[in-house]
């Protein structure tokens, strides 16, 4: 089951940050303010202007895993973010001067509500949730991360896609001066990703704006990124500036770069090997290079929530 059992997660196993521990204690207290309890529907998302500032009004989610959370150093120093470099430590080193304000998100295509929105206005109608998700990278490593964000399904509902919208396409910022990794030719920039409408309106995907109770660091996708926990990590597009509702399946960045290796769906499937390595086992980051690998779970362990999305679909051909 994915329901979190907080007593299984010891604070010293998560992070040594006092503020994060206090943040979680505040959440569990019921958000007492002025002697009264504010109901969920009165709390709206507030996004700080700087990365790693404390987020407010966070509620816990029923979809969190009860597995031990990775240390914050693991999560912020070992990243895939090619806009800032190809090596795992490049994003942390090369994004330190990146400014994520001002920031706007353009919504276009087959939807009733379109236009350009300041990020604060874009997320303000929703309450932030903390969701502790297992995350799986195609290179056979994994983490457990306490994301903070808003359910993508709620955002899509508010934007009111038309019946003609079958897919949701996302694009990241394209700015070679601010993102030096985009000067390389390893991918066609800007970075592009997509989901089917059914995937995007599943309860699990979130638009994340934080980790560990704080606003996203630059290397983790500040100020807003996609998190889809049953798919490989490259589906989690960072630095989103555009969301499009479209009729036809979009071409995604890694699909265009290496279509024999990276498909549109990118579901975690231990039975489908990458052409250059097996996906049957994985190693948890932070466990040490000599730690034993563990078996990879179908849909990264979220099968009960998402398997129905692929009824009748050949998961070997549609990888």
CA pair distance 209, 232, nearest whole angstrom: 19
List the CATH number of the domain containing 198.
3.90.420.10
Query: Does some domain include residue 319?
Result: no
Structural domain of 269: 6-310
| Segment 238-272, tens digit of pLDDT | 999 999 999 999 999 999 999 999 999 999 999 99
Tell me what the pLDDT averaged over the chain comes to: 89
pLDDT bucket at 13, cuts 50 / 70 / 90 = very low
Number of domains in the chain: 1
Looking at 28-37, 91-100, 167-176, which range is the least confident one? 28-37
C-alpha to C-alpha distances, 45 to 42, 49, 108, 249, nearest whole angstrom = 10, 13, 23, 31
Does position 146 have pLDDT exceeding 80, yes or no?
A: yes
Does position 40 have pLDDT exceeding 60, yes or no?
A: no
Say what the pTM is.
0.88
Query: Does some domain include residue 230?
Result: yes
Query: Does some domain include residue 315?
Result: no
> Two tokens at 187?
């991918």
Query: Does some domain include residue 1?
Result: no
Does position 223 have pLDDT exceeding 80, yes or no?
A: yes
Structural contact between residues 231 and 263, judged by C-beta atoms closer than 8 angstroms: no
pLDDT at 193: 98
> Two tokens at 36?
């009264």
Percent of the chain with pLDDT over 90: 84
Beta-bridge partner residues of 32: 37
Higher pLDDT among residues 300 and 23, named by residue: 300
CA pair distance 103, 250, nearest whole angstrom: 24
CA pair distance 184, 206, nearest whole angstrom: 29
């Amino acid at each position: 089951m994915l329901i979190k059992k907080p007593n299984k997660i010891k604070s010293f196993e998560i992070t040594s940050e006092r503020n994060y521990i206090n943040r979680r204690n505040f959440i569990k207290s019921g958000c007492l303010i002025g002697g009264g309890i504010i109901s969920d529907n009165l709390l709206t998302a507030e996004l700080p202007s700087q990365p790693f500032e404390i987020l407010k009004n966070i509620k816990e989610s029923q979809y969190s895993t009860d597995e031990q959370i990775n240390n914050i150093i693991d999560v912020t120093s070992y990243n895939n973010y090619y806009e800032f470099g190809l090596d795992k430590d490049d994003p942390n080193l090369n994004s330190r001067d990146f400014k994520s304000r001002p920031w706007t998100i353009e919504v276009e295509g087959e939807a009733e509500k379109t236009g350009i929105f300041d990020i604060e206005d874009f997320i303000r109608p929703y309450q932030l949730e903390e969701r502790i998700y297992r995350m799986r990278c195609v290179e056979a490593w994994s983490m457990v991360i306490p994301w903070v964000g808003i359910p993508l399904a709620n955002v899509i509902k508010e934007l009111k896609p038309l019946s003609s919208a079958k897919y949701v396409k996302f694009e990241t910022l394209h700015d070679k001066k601010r993102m030096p990794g985009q000067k390389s030719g390893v991918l066609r920039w800007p970075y592009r990703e997509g989901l089917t409408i059914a995937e995007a309106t599943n309860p699990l995907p979130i638009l994340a704006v934080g980790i560990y109770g704080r606003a996203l660091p630059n290397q983790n996708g500040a100020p807003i990124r996609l998190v889809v926990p049953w798919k490989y990590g490259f589906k989690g597009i960072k630095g989103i500036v555009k969301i499009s509702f479209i009729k036809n399946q979009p071409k995604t960045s890694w699909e265009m770069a290496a279509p024999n290796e990276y498909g549109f769906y990118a579901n975690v499937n231990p039975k489908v090997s990458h052409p250059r390595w097996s996906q049957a086992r994985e190693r948890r980051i932070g466990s040490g290079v000599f730690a034993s690998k563990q078996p990879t779970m179908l849909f990264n362990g979220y099968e009960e929530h998402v398997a129905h999305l692929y009824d009748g679909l050949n998961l070997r051909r549609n990888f």
